[in-house]
Structure 1
Amino acid sequence: MDALMNQGWPAAHSTELDGWLVRHNAGVTLRANSVLPASAPFDLDRALEYVENLYVAHDIRPSFQVGPAAQPGDLDEYLAARGYELRNPTLVMCAEVADVLAKLSEPLATVNISTAPDDDWMDFWWAVDGRGGSAAQAAARQILNRSRALYAVIPSGSPIQAIGRLALVDGWAGLYCLAVDPGHRRRGLAQTVIHGLLQRATTLGVTRVWLQVVESNTPARALYDRLGFQTASRYHYRVLP
């Protein structure tokens, strides 16, 4: 799952460091600016020193994405003792696309699907869920454009009511950037976006879908539970303040 998620949200720069993947992308999103510790480095202290110096040089807080596969096995405790703070406990949930489509209600609106985010899509996403100014938005757009994906919008013109992104990786799809205008929430538009994206994905041979949801987001988790998603993994970040 770590490899799929990394391909679905790729950083501009990824450096392999003795089994760790050190990612940085102008500080935009923790996913793209954290270490993915896939295997244990030979010299842990030296690897940590390298990571911290690299991130500080790029004006980024040193961060690690820590899940069940993180190495070494006691990395989380080691980072905590070093002063790294725990952030954003997150669940990774998976399902069969066919099962999710069977549980979704009939679409409430027409979903326009494209293979790249246009300016209206980007502006809407950034207004609802973005962090930072125009430079950060441009860096985020570069992340999106580095991997194959589908982009959904309701309606096709302005004003936009809802959007979503579906990364396409090796027969899998990853659901990202699901956002609904606050004035149009609780109307089933999120489910309509998911339906449109997954329906199109089936024509491309996609059979399985994953998503990441912050553990404390109870409403979103309730929706995904109803759609048949099951927790396959979890992770959190350790960030040096």
Structure 2
Amino acid sequence: MGQARSPLGVADLQRVAARGWRAPEEDRLGEWLLRAAGGFTGRANSALVVGDPGLPLPDAVTAVARWYADRGLTPAAMLPGVQARSADAAFAAAGWQRGGAVLVLTAPLGAPAAPAVAVELSPTPDDAWLVTYADGGTLPPAAHQVLTGAEDVVFAAVRRGPVAAAVARGVLTDGWLGVSAVEVDPGHRRQGLGTALLDALRGWAAERGAHSVYLQVTEDNAPARALYRRAGLIEQHRYWYRRLPG
């Protein structure tokens, strides 16, 4: 797997990940990061609860609720790891409902293998990439801003004629490769395309001096977890969302 590096702690890795998936609107509540992107993805439309909000926790919960309500969004908070227990209790006491767990997986970048199939890399997503990522649907206007808003980002695709059979997004932040938006068209699954995307992104990041990789996967996504386990990624921590009903 290459030379081992000391991993970041939960809070610092979450801050790296937040820079790799930036919302068009961001604000601060003490050390908490408030993010809004018109409802596109939980990560870009939730308060990242790491550090000190600078207020008593019940007041901070109220302030988060007001910030999202002012923007017509469902108030949401992202609570990572054991460090968020006190804040989680405060959100729960205010009636915020908890969602399922999301696993954050990490690994040293290592020596990337050559992809088994051809993978195209582009600094911007084309229409075919976006269609596959959206599973044939339509993405909201803020999606393009979130997808392309990082400092060093790349879009990977396996082509089958004019169709993108599989896509993924990579972003490089402080030596960490963040992998997201991994989608394989249902008609092209179980062909190793997900592995090829990971290999291509690892190669891209290695050329830029990256040392580690991270990604997020929901606890109930067994096929993706199996793919990432084969790729050597292991769980560093978990996070979950709390949302205010109504």
Partner of 1:144: 147
User: Which segments of 5 or more consecutive residues in structure 1 lack a partner in the other structure?
Assistant: none
2:115 maps to 1:114: no
User: Which shows bigger deviation, 58-67 or 154-163?
Assistant: 154-163
Q: Deviations over 1:199-234 (max 9, x none)?
A: 122111112100101111112112211221111111
CA RMSD of aligned residues (A): 1.8
Distance 1:47 1:116 in 2: 37
Name the TM-score, length of structure 2 as normaliser. 0.87
Which residue type is aligned with residue 154 of structure 1? V
Are 1:4 and 2:3 counterparts? no
Poorly superposed stretches of 4+, deviation over 6 Å = none
SS of the counterpart of 2:23? coil
Q: Which aligned pairs between 1:117-128 and structure 2 lie closer than 5 A?
A: 117-127=125-135
Local SS of the residue matching 1:154: strand
Deviation at 1:47, TM superposition (A): 2.3
Residue correspondence of structure 1 range 1-241 to structure 2 within 5 A: 1-40=13-52, 41-68=54-81, 70=83, 73-98=85-110, 101=112, 107-127=115-135, 133-134=138-139, 136=140, 138-147=141-150, 148-155=152-159, 157-241=161-245
Q: Which moved more, 1:221-230 or 1:176-185?
A: 221-230
How many Å apart are 1:156 and its aligned residue? 7.4
What TM-score does the superposition give when structure 1 sets the normalisation length? 0.89
Q: 2 CA distance for matches of 1:70 and 1:22?
A: 18
Distance in 1 (CA, whole Å) between partners of 2:177 and 2:165 is: 23
Distance 1:19 1:29 in 2: 21
In 2 relative to 1, CA 173–156 (structure 1 residues): closer, same or farther, beyond 3 Å? Answer: farther
Residue 69 (structure 1) shift = 6.1
Q: CA deviation at 1:157?
A: 4.7
Choose 74-83 or 231-240, whichever is displaced more: 74-83
- Opposite residue 141 of structure 1, the aligned amino acid is H
Paired AA for residue 62 in structure 1 = P
Aligned amino acid, residue 58 of structure 2: D
Percent identical pairs in the alignment equals 35
Could you give the per-residue CA deviations for residues 18-49 of structure 1, whole angstroms, max 9, x where no partner exists?
A: 22211111111110111112223323333222
